Structure 1
Amino acid sequence: MRRSPRFLAAEILSRVESGASYANILLQHNLGALSEPRERSLATVLVNGCLKHRLTLDYALRLHLRKPMSSLPVRVRQILRLGAFQLLYLDKIPGAVAVNESVELAKTSEPKFTALLNGVLRRVMETGWDLPWPEAAREPVRYLSVRHSHPDWLVRRWWKRWGFTETEELLRLDNEPAPLWIRANVLRTDREGLRERLLLEGVAAEPGERVPESLRVSGLGALAELAAFREGLFTVQDESSQMVAHVLRPQSGDAVLDACSAPGGKTTHLAEFMHNTGSISAFDRHEGKLRLVEELAGRLGISIIHTYPGDARELSGVEDESQDGVLVDAPCSGLGILRRKADLRWRKEEKDIEALPQLQLAILERAAAKVRPGGTLVYSTCTVEPEENFEVVKAFRSAHAEFVPADLAERLPFSLSDPRDRRQAEKGMLQLLPQRHGTDGFFLAQFTRREV
């Protein structure tokens, strides 16, 4: 069978389930095998959709199976999910086509299961969404977990924190396609100039509401094919993470340290803020990831970033109390960006959250030693879990009275309308939530080191 979008999706899904790699990496490396943009788009939708909705798909499929899903070969499970996803979520694909394509796909790798696939998927097509869901009033966590395809332990955490309605909205947003944001490189253009250029290249772009450099784009296609991308007029970066540079707000000529810099979106944004004058020390423990920082800086025309391989708990090579600004974009659970990483929800366990704060605090404390008196320290994560955010900040402040919180509202590039947000910001912290702010789940904290 030719390398079709469904064939490629089944291969990628099988490799993800076996733990071989991450979905976004496999898509990036394999989409080139499909020649047509619409085929690449379909393969991406199929992979991300089957991963995000896996629990719901399995629930619908199990109603028509005589044996557990786990007893079936990996490839058969993926073909069943692919077929069910098309039947339940993709209105533009006729049901008969979804079933027949799934059966044909099975003939190439699991011919013994073609009859089972045909029968089960036809019953899924007949049943549609008329499924016996758990009763929401009696089993709220199980209902939300199955209906919106999130692990039970995570739903329980969020349900206890926010209640049923708000949790359901967050789960729903996690399952939607993530918006694509880019950041204008102000060293070479401005947002309106970039927008006009992209329109000439067939890319629709709308200005963001929170960050003056941000544009929300659609129809982007292959980045390398865009002259504006090759010329370094922009880089891809979510709008919420673009806020970091505005909060740290380095000046031209400053010395800045980025403790966890790869892949370089925030690092290069800081350099643009500094008008490419001064110096940025960019650390990462993986040399290969630092090459991504260097390549991005080169494309954007930035020369002030100096990369250092090394553990962020050590930061060797930079003197203490020497930096005007320090950023700690800490390694975290990533539970604020589940809509961007389709397989992440199935890779995380609750014990992962328990282990991270100790690492995050160790990095924050070491980085804080690099901040000069009067300098600025910013801590950020892409998670919504308080243990990784508020609790880390609380522990840091209790041990470091020399750092005082700074009102975030004075540096954010947009105004805060919610009184809860304003109260947080006055204490130097802000938790952004998809269901409340329409952003990724993102946390920011800002401190100033007392003058001697």
Structure 2
Amino acid sequence: MRLHRNLCFAVIDGLTLIFNEGHYADKVIQQLLKRDKRWGSRDRAFVAETTYDIVRWKRLYAEIAEVKAPYDRDNLWRMFAVWATLKGIKLPDWKYFETTPTRKIKGRFDELSKIRKFRESVPDWMDELGVTELGESLWTKEIAKQNEQADVILRVNTLKTSKKDLQQKLQSENIETEFLPNHPSALKLKERANVFKTEAFKNGWFEVQDASSQLVADFLDVQPGMKVVDVCAGAGGKTLHLASLMQNKGQIIAMDIYESKLKKLKVRARRNGVHNIELKVIDSTKPIKKLHGKADRLLIDAPCSGLGVLRRNPDSKWKLEPEFIENIKKTQAEVLQQYSKMVKPGGKMVYATCSVLPSENKQQVDTFLTTELGKEFTFVKDNNIFAHKSGFDGFYMALLEKKK
């Protein structure tokens, strides 16, 4: 593989924004890919994947390169040289690589790979927390899997097409997919591709949604004609799935504290041919009180640490703080107290997170069930999904039923 100067410069510019200015990696990469119209798909893949790779292994590469944050451009070139050397890529005779100690890099890599926090490139506090909550063996397997690139999974929109028809349509656009066992609406791409440019996407035949995330709507056990509330709807991946399971019949009230996210959901709903969704911004306690005792089904896709989806958001390893996790657990408890009042007697709710930490998951549910409000509910079942077992995102979901 030959390195091209303009592509490498794009990577270095991207890393500067991500590491030193706190920008989100996905947004930075979106911007970088618009930089040069002459770039082909290989060039764009190089920029995106190299940037994500160096973000993912930041701690390991910085340790090998002997550099510390904040990283100036020379530091970033040293980290880039580590990445290239470990990938077996021959470094060109550019000034940035003049002092690269190639042999030493491989030796340091072997040495540091014996220590999990370096090998898996995570902050000390995160490694300690993982061991405390999951135990040494489980955490070791899970964090290793969270460092692998995630597959691209599609969810077929059954309001417009079938899984088989979608597969054939994508095949006609040179995108090969395969069915996933135990995921009724999922198709997995055999190779990465820009699915957003396809005719099928523009026609609303599918959404990109991880296989674990697709299990949440199924877990809620919705039926056509029900009144369903999704209180942390965001941009609405699970809301749209609920709409297709309900065959567009009944009512879904999608709520969020961010109006900007609900606007995105509105656009997606139109493309998906969904018309049973009502959007509500949570700007006070009023919209919540109005729905007390009214919902047949309630979905709480709670804010969380996101430690189950590090494969998709490797930069969150460096953005997360221990204090954030402590605070988010308080928010989760409040959300359960506040929103569970919407469920009517005999109704059901699902509490879900994209975290693998028991303190954000089963422990939150157990604590809720001991409160005055929680005593009105019965625990039905839960599902703990680990990436190293499923091959997909880490997720948790619990189904509770309100007593009649």
TM-score bin (small chain): over 0.9
User: TM (normalized to structure 1)?
Assistant: 0.83
The Cα of 1:313 is off from its aligned counterpart by 6.7
Does the CA-based 8 Å contact 2:134-2:357 persist in structure 1? Answer: no
Report the equivalent of 1:431. 384
Residue aligning to 2:45: 41
Moved more, 361-370 or 215-224: 215-224
SS at match of 1:130: helix
Per-residue CA distance 1:282-335 (angstroms, 9 max, x = gap): 111111111111111111100111111115976447421111100000011101
Structure 2 equivalent of residue 61 of structure 1 = 65
Distance 1:228 1:178 in 2: 22
1:363 to 335, 339, 356: 335
How far 1:267 moved relative to its partner? 0.3
For 1:430, what is the secondary structure of its paired residue? strand
Is 1:83 the counterpart of 2:73 in the alignment?
A: no
**Whole-angstrom CA distance in 1 between matches of 2:164 and 2:332:** 38
- Residue 325 of structure 1 aligns to a residue whose secondary structure is strand
Higher RCO structure (Cα 8 Å, ≥6 apart):
2
User: Secondary structure of the equivalent of 2:252?
Assistant: strand
In structure 2, what is the equivalent of residue 414 of structure 1? none
- Tell me which amino acid in the other structure corresponds to 2:388: Q
Please tell me whether the aligned partners of residues 208 and 216 of structure 1 are also in contact (alpha carbons under 8 angstroms): yes
Instruction: Name the residue aligned to 1:17.
Output: 19
Identity in percent: 28
Q: 1:215 aligns with which of 187, 209, 223?
A: 187
**Residue 400 of structure 2 corresponds to which residue in structure 1?**
447
Aligned-partner SS, 1:249: coil
Q: Once the two structures are superposed, what CA deviation does each residue of 1:150-194 show, in whole Å capped at 9, x if it has no partner?
A: 111111222344444443322221221111111000011111111
2:228 and 2:251 in contact (8 A); partners too? yes
Distance 1:79-1:432 versus aligned 2 partners, 3 A rule:
same
Q: Is the 8 A contact 1:431 1:443 kept in 2?
A: yes
Task: Give the Cα separation in 1 of the matches to 2:296 and 2:76.
Answer: 52
Counterpart secondary structure, 1:33: coil
Question: What is the number of residues matched between the two proteins?
Answer: 396
1:133 aligned partner, one-letter code: E
Could you say what secondary structure the match of 2:384 adopts?
Answer: strand
Contact 1:257 1:325 in 2 (8 A): yes
**Post-superposition CA distance 1:203-250 (Å, at most 9, x none):** 111111221100111445333320000011100000101001111121
1:346–1:442 distance in 2 versus 1, CA, 3 Å: same
CA distance in 2, matches of 1:6, 1:85: 12
> Which amino acid in structure 1 is aligned with residue 378 of structure 2?
V
1:126 is aligned to 2:124:
no
- Bigger mean CA deviation after superposition, 279-288 or 431-440: 431-440
SS of aligned partner of 2:111: coil
Of 21-30 and 339-348, deviating more is: 21-30
Q: Which amino acid aligns with 1:398?
A: T
The correspondence of residues 378-397 of structure 1 with structure 2, limited to 5 A, is 378-397=350-369
Q: Is the 8 A contact 1:313 1:362 kept in 2?
A: no
Asked whether the 8 Å contact 2:130–2:357 carries over to 1, the reply is no
Tell me the equivalent position of 2:376.
402
- Structure 2 counterpart of 1:272: 244
**Aligned position for 1:74:** 72
* Amino acid corresponding to residue 118 of structure 1 in structure 2: F
* Partner amino acid, structure 1, of 2:68: M
Q: TM-score, normalised by structure 2?
A: 0.92
Secondary structure of the structure 1 residue equivalent to 2:181: coil
Residues 242 and 39 of structure 1: is their aligned pair in 2 closer, same or farther, counting only changes over 3 Å? same
**What is the letter of the counterpart of residue 44 of structure 1?**
A
> Where does residue 10 of structure 2 map in the other structure?
8
Q: SS state of the match for residue 219, structure 2?
A: helix
Alignment of 1:187-336 (within 5 A): 187-310=159-282, 315-316=287-288, 318-336=290-308
**Per-residue deviation, 1:53:** 0.5
Structure 2 contact 81–91 (Cα < 8 Å) conserved: no
Structure 1 unpaired stretches of 5+: 63-67, 104-113, 137-142, 407-427
Q: Which structure 2 residue ranges, 5 or more long, are not aligned?
A: none
CA displacement at 1:78 relative to structure 2? 2.0
Q: Look up the equivalent residue of 1:361 and give its one-letter code.
A: A
Whole-angstrom CA distance in 1 between matches of 2:286 and 2:310: 30
